[in-house]
Amino acid sequence: MFVANHTSMTDIMLMLYVTRNPFVFVGKKELAKIPVFGFFYKRTCILVDRKNPKSRRDVFISAQRKLEQGLSVCIFPEGGVPDDLSVILDEFKDGAFRLAIEHQIPIAPMTFYDNKKRFSYSFFTGTPGKMRVTIHETIPTETLEVEDKRQLKQQTREVILKNLERGL
């Protein structure tokens, strides 16, 4: 299970570039409506309607199928890009961690340092330059129970946050 901070429209492309394992994203359904991008997005993602409890449950079934096919899963656990550009790392949602524990998938945290500076969600902002990423040591989940998801979520967030604070 790949998890990374979500700050830019370039996050998906950088994830595709640095990850060697074949994977699928779990992403919000609304993005499938974007012309051209949406065409590819809905064919390469497990879509979730975050307002619909049934849709959120269906993600677990779809992810299981993808895992059985030998694919990894990528989730941006912040659930979206924070509207406030001063937010370094928003709070994480539970879904990625519950999924990882239930399916005994190790978490592979990733820190994207520069994507917000290069191409943020605010139009007409950004600068040319490198986009650095660190793929951290995986966090095992074999011994964890669903009740441990809060601890796993916090551990993963701390890894990413500490690196963002050092690398900014």
Residue 41 pLDDT more than 70? yes
Bridge partners (DSSP) listed for residue 112: 133
Strand, coil or helix: 29: helix
> How many Cβ atoms sit within 10 Å of the Cβ of residue 21?
11
Span 115-126, average pLDDT: 75
- Percentage of the chain beyond pLDDT 70 is 97
* The total number of structural domains that make up the chain: 1
Residue 11 pLDDT more than 80? yes
Question: What is the per-residue pLDDT across 79-120, written as a single tens digit (0 to 9) for each?
Answer: 877 777 788 899 999 989 998 998 899 999 999 999 888 887
For position 67, which CATH number holds? 3.40.1130.10
- Note the pTM of the prediction, 2 decimals: 0.86
Question: What is the per-residue pLDDT across 17-36, written as a single tens digit (0 to 9) for each?
Answer: 898 888 999 988 888 898 88
Residue 121 pLDDT more than 70? no
Non-local (6+) Cβ contacts of 147 within 8 A are none
Residue whose token pair is 């998801």? 149
> Residue 89 is part of which domain span?
2-167
